[in-house]
Structures are given as C-alpha cells and as structure tokens.
Chain A
Amino acid sequence: MTGKALVTAFSLIGLLGLWIVAATLTADATILPTPLALVGPFLQELQSGELLFHLGQTLLRVVWAFVLAMGIGLALGLLMGRFPAVDRWLDPWLVVFLNLPALVLIVLCYLWIGLNETAAILAVTLNKVPNVTTMIREGARSFDPNLDAMAKVYRMPASTRLRHVLLPQLAPFIAAAARSGIAVIWKIVLVVEFLGRSSGIGFKIHLYFQLFDVRMVLIYALSFIIVMLVVEWSLLQPWERRVRRWRTA
C-alpha cells in the first residue's frame, strides 16, 4: 500500500524533474517556464481571487453536467437494458450520438441556443449521456434473473427492488461511468468555455493563449487538474470503496 504510494510519488517527482530539465534546455521562459517561476504568479492569482473565481465557475459547470449526464444516462441505460423493444428503437440514436464529435455538438448548441450557460451545460451533457447510457445498459443486461424472480415472488415493492436489488448490481457500472464521466466532462467543459464563455478555466486559457502567455496557461490548467485529482481521491474513490465493501469483507 505505502509501497504503491511511494512509487506514485517518485513517478510524479520524475515528471517534475523532466519539466525542469526541459525548461533549462529551452532556456526561454516565454516558451517553457520552470515550475519555480510559476509560484509567484500563482500566489498572486490566488490572492486576487481571480483563480478561485474561475475555478469555481468551471467546477459548477462540471457538477451540473455530471449530475445531468449521470441521471439521464442511468434512466436511459436502465430502460434500454431492461426493455429490448426500447433498446431496438433507441440504439440507432445512441450510435449516432456516440459518433458525433464533441466539437460539433458544442458548436451546434451555441448556434441553436445562443452563447449562454444553458447551451454550454447542455453541450457537455449531450456529449456524455451516450457513454453513460451504454455502460449502464451493459450493467442492466447482466442483472441476475434469479434475483428478479425472487423479488417478484416475495412481492418486494418497486422502490425496495430498485434500491436494494437493482442499483447494487449496477454499482460497478455506475462507478465506471462516473469515473470516465468526470474525466471526460471536465475536459469538454474547458473546450466549451474556450469557445463561448466569459468565465472559467477554459476562458482564461483562451485569454492567455491569445496573449501567448504560457506561464498563465500552465497555472490555470494545472490548478484545475489538481482540483480534479482531489475530487477523484476524496469523493469518487472512497464512495467506490464503500459500495465494494461487501466484496472484500
């Protein structure tokens, strides 16, 4: 356990070392500044409240899109997995949406709905729903038919059945969908902000891209990567451990 953590730490330190070497060889702070050169401006952005504001904006969009995509994907996946007739009708749509490039959906949402928050969140949600649906459908197809029969014969109420029979069987699929969901969603949110919002990390990256300010681009990007890693470690992984407890007990 600690051995694994140690390897992770050394591996990350190695990456940092590589960065320092590359920065030294480049010897041009406007192209690749050293990590140390980022500390000053980082603290400044933190103190002015600018960094936290934009981080908050992006995080809010990520949460909205995540909740919507998971909710809609869960419902659709359950329906399609449980009812073959629904599956036959919706599957072609799924294939179309799965193969629609993220950029196309984003641009179309902005063109049709306007450059606003609704369009931004809808674009991200639509990008993720097909993936979640596919994964949950897989889970719903693998339900144990004997447990279904058991619940039916003992006349368990629908709500109990959903909560204690179906959802626990889906838990590994929900966890996988949530994991890949978070990973993809925050990246798409940055693109959405880059293209049509005036707040958020993506907007700041766009701004400093136009100013060719590599330093600030790195500061904003890295800050958000760290936030997402903290979310993964402090929320997602503990939740996964909790729902898996019965397997390891």
Chain B
Amino acid sequence: MVAAATLGAARAALAHRMIRVDITRKAYGRTPVLGRIAFEIRRGETVAILGPSGIGKSTLLRLIAGIDSKFDGHIERPDKMAIVFQEPTLLLWRSVLQNLTLVHPDLSEHAALAMLDKVGIAGKAEMFPGQLSLGQQRRLALARAFAGDPAFLIMDEPFVSLDPKTAEGMLALTEALIAEVRPATLFVTHARSEAERLHARILELRGTPAALAPRLVTGKERP
C-alpha cells in the first residue's frame, strides 16, 4: 500500500511533465539527416512517427531516447524510460526471467513471473531466450519494457516482419499494456492502421533533411 501511494505521488509529480523535443539539426558527418523537428508528448499520450524507409525515423528515436547525444537542439525526457527495438535485443545468455530481473533490479521475482504470464509466456521463465520463437521473444521484449512501469515508452517498428496473426496478437497486447501502464508512448511504424489502432497522434517525416510535415488533424485523431 505504501509503495502504491509513493508511486501515485511520483506519478502526480510527473503528470505535468511532458516530453519536449526541439531538434534543430542532426548530421552524420557532413550529411544532414534531420532538420528542425519540434513536438511534445503529454503523459499517457501516444504519438506515431510515419515516414519512408531511410528518412531518419530510427535516428530521431535514438536522439529522443538519449542513445545518441550528438545533435543540435534540446530534448526533455523523464528518467524512467523503456525501449522496444525491431529486434528483440535480449540477453541470450541469461534466462527469460533474468531478462526481466537484471534489467529491473527492483522487480520482485513474483512480479516478473506475473509479467511473463501477462504477455503469454508463463512457464518459459527458466528457458534461454534462444529457445523461444521469434514471436515469444518479442513478447518478452514487450514484458521487459512494461515491467519497469515506464513514464516514457519508445518503440522502433515493433510489429514489422511478423506474420499477420502474430502481429495482430502483439498489437492487441501492446494496446492492453499501454492502457494499463499509461506511459507516454512514441513509436515508429510503416502502417497507418497500426497508428490508428493505438489511437496515436500521427507525425509524418518528410524531405531531406527530414522535418515534420504540416498537416491537418482530423477529428478522429484528436485525443
């Protein structure tokens, strides 16, 4: 109960905090990739970034996640973040359970097992990730992301290269977990339908260097 109360307080403090992105320029060597890109994400809001392959979506996510700090501009982000890559990016040499508990030291074994159950891979806790199917590995990556109760979730094309049925399962699972944990979410996708499914505000990247395309917001998209 005490833990829940402190968590609530921390959340309340964060409630007004937003993710603020204000990038003026990002280049690899002398090749500019990103131009002026500025937007904000409110707590609990989901934002989707759309754009053709090679335009700079992953580059943008890496800046926002704090993985790459070589750029001109300013980004404000909360401490508690989670990321889901296109590849599962797991610790293949540690057990499925340890993939949660090593990344989140505060997570009890009980809570970790509950999380595995929630994403549908209960009973695989003692296996190595390599013994899971690709779909199950991505469920584990999703479990890892939500297990830390993140304030900000970043996903880079989390549903590509899955067969339609598996992709639909992942999408439904992500939707349910977002509804439960309610982080601010930023994700990259090819498919507009995925963005609409997660009730995302859509931002489109265009041009070289890439910038946000001006567009009208339809009533359906407004949160």
Interface residues of A (CB under 8 A from B): 144, 146-147, 149-150, 152-157, 160, 164-165, 168, 171, 243, 245-247, 249
Contacts and interface: CB of A to CB of B under 8 A. Distances in A.
Given A165-B91, A249-B130, A249-B131, A149 B67 contact: yes
A133 B78 CA distance: 39
Interface residues of B, number: 27
Given A149-B83, A153-B154, A154-B81, A246 B92 contact: yes
B83 A168 contact: no
A214 B132 CA distance: 59
A247 B128 CA distance: 9
Nearest to A167: B93
Interface of B: 62, 65-67, 79, 81-83, 85, 87, 89, 91-94, 98, 102-105, 127-128, 130-131, 144, 148, 154
Contacts of A249: 127-128, 130-131
Nearest to A153: B83
Contact of A147 (B65, B91, B104, B105): B91
B103 A156 contact: yes
A47 to B, nearest CB: 48
Contacts of A152: 66-67
Given A153-B83, A154-B148, A164-B102, A247 B89 contact: no
Contact of A149 (B65, B82, B144): B65
A144 B92 CA distance: 12
Contacts of B103: 150, 154, 156
B83 A150 contact: yes
Contacts of B93: 168, 171, 243, 246
A153 to B, nearest CB: 4
A154 B83 contact: yes
A146 B91 contact: no
A243 B94 CA distance: 10
17 contacts: A144-B89, A146-B85, A149-B65, A149-B83, A150-B89, A152-B66, A154-B144, A154-B148, A156-B103, A157-B105, A160-B102, A160-B105, A164-B94, A168-B93, A249-B127, A249-B130, A249-B131
A219 B79 CA distance: 66
